[in-house]
Amino acid sequence: MNPLLSAEMLENFHFLRPVFLYGLIPALILVFLLLFIQSTRSTWSRAIDPSLLPFLLDKNSSPRRIYPLFGLLLLWTLGLIALAGPVWQQIPVPVQEREDALVIVADMSLSMYANDVAPNRAIRTQRKIIDVLTTRKEEGQTALVVYAGDAHAVTPLTDDVETINNLVSSLEPNIMPMMGSRPDSGIQLAIELLENSSLPQAQILLITDGINANDIGAIRNTLRGTQHTLSVLGVGTEDGAPIPMAEGGFLRDNNNAIVIPRLQRSLLQELAQETSGRYADALLTDEDINYLLDQSVFDENENLINVEREFDIWYEAGPWLLLLVLPLAALTFRRGWLLGLCLAFIFVPERDAYAWELKDLWVKKDVQGTEAFSEEDFEQAANLFQDKEWRAAANYRVGNYENAVADLGLLEDAESHYNRGNALARMNRYPEAIAAYDQTLALAPDHEDAQFNKELLEKIMEEQEQQQQEQQQQDSEGENQDQEQESQQQENQEQQQQNQEQQSEQSEQDQQQQQQQDQEQQESEQDSENEPQDQESQEPQEGEQPDSEEEQAMQQWLRRIPDDPGELLRRKFQYQAARRRFEQIQNPSLAEQEENGQIW
pLDDT computed for residue 592 by the predictor? 44
Spatial contact of 455 and 441, defined as CB atoms under 8 Å apart: no
pLDDT computed for residue 61 by the predictor? 47
CA atoms within 13 A on the CB side of 151: 23
CA distances from 469 to 184, 192, 428, 475 (A): 50, 47, 19, 10
Neighbours of 431 (CB within 10 A): 10
Burial of residue 376 (number of CB atoms within 10 Å: 0-12, 13-18, 19+): exposed
The number of angstroms, rounded, from the C-alpha of 211 to the middle of its chain's C-alpha atoms is 36
CA distances from 299 to 42, 75, 104, 336 (A): 73, 46, 21, 51
Containing H/E element for 393? helix 388-398
Spatial contact of 282 and 288, defined as CB atoms under 8 Å apart: yes
Give the pairing type, strands 14-15 and 141-147: unpaired
Spatial contact of 261 and 240, defined as CB atoms under 8 Å apart: yes
CA triple 6-327-71, angle to 5 deg: 85
Containing H/E element for 155? strand 151-158
pLDDT computed for residue 341 by the predictor? 46
pLDDT computed for residue 533 by the predictor? 42
Alpha helix locations (H) across 263-364? 265-274, 287-292, 318-335, 337-346
- 3-state SS of the chain: helix, strand, coil percent to 5? 65, 10, 25
pLDDT computed for residue 348 by the predictor? 41
Spatial contact of 79 and 177, defined as CB atoms under 8 Å apart: no
pLDDT computed for residue 99 by the predictor? 65
Containing H/E element for 142? strand 141-147
Q: In a structure prediction context, what are the per-residue pLDDT tens digits for the chain, which is 600 residues long?
A: 556 556 767 777 888 888 888 988 988 888 787 777 666 555 566 666 667 666 665 554 455 556 666 777 888 888 888 888 888 887 776 666 556 789 999 999 999 999 999 899 999 999 999 999 988 865 678 999 999 989 999 999 988 888 898 889 899 999 999 888 999 999 999 999 999 888 888 899 999 999 998 999 999 999 998 989 999 999 999 999 999 988 888 988 888 899 999 999 999 999 999 888 899 999 988 899 989 987 554 444 445 555 555 566 778 888 888 787 777 666 665 554 454 445 444 444 444 333 344 555 556 777 787 888 878 888 888 888 888 888 988 888 888 889 989 988 888 888 889 899 888 988 888 899 899 989 999 988 888 888 888 888 888 888 888 877 877 777 666 666 666 666 666 666 666 666 666 555 555 555 555 555 555 555 555 544 444 444 444 444 444 444 456 666 666 665 665 556 677 888 888 888 888 887 777 776 555 444 445 676
Determine if residue 276 is left, alpha or beta; phi over 0 gives left, psi from -120 to 50 gives alpha, anything else beta: left
Three-state SS letters, 84-104: HCEEEEEEEEEEEEECCEEEE
**CATH architecture under which domain 100-297 falls:** 3-Layer(aba) Sandwich (3.40)
Q: Strand pairing partners for 96?
A: 306
Give the domain ranges of the chain: 3-44+60-89+312-359, 100-297
With 0.75 as the threshold, say if the pTM is over it: no
pLDDT computed for residue 308 by the predictor? 56
Spatial contact of 366 and 351, defined as CB atoms under 8 Å apart: no
CA distances from 30 to 27, 345, 428 (A): 5, 14, 68
CA triple 149-155-156, angle to 5 deg: 105
CA distance 384 to 372: 9
Three-state SS letters, 499-566: HHHHHHHHHHHCCCCHHHHHHHHHHHHHHHHHHHHHHHHHHHHHHHHHHHHHHHHHHHHHHHCCCCHH
CA atoms within 13 A on the CB side of 29: 5
Neighbours of 375 (CB within 10 A): 11
Nearest by Cα to 133 from 109, 98, 106, 160: 160
Spatial contact of 158 and 104, defined as CB atoms under 8 Å apart: no
Amino acid present at 462: E
pLDDT computed for residue 468 by the predictor? 78
- Say which residues have a Cβ less than 8 Å from residue 275's Cβ, sequence separation at least 6: 219, 220, 223, 229, 230
pLDDT computed for residue 469 by the predictor? 80
Amino acid present at 540: P
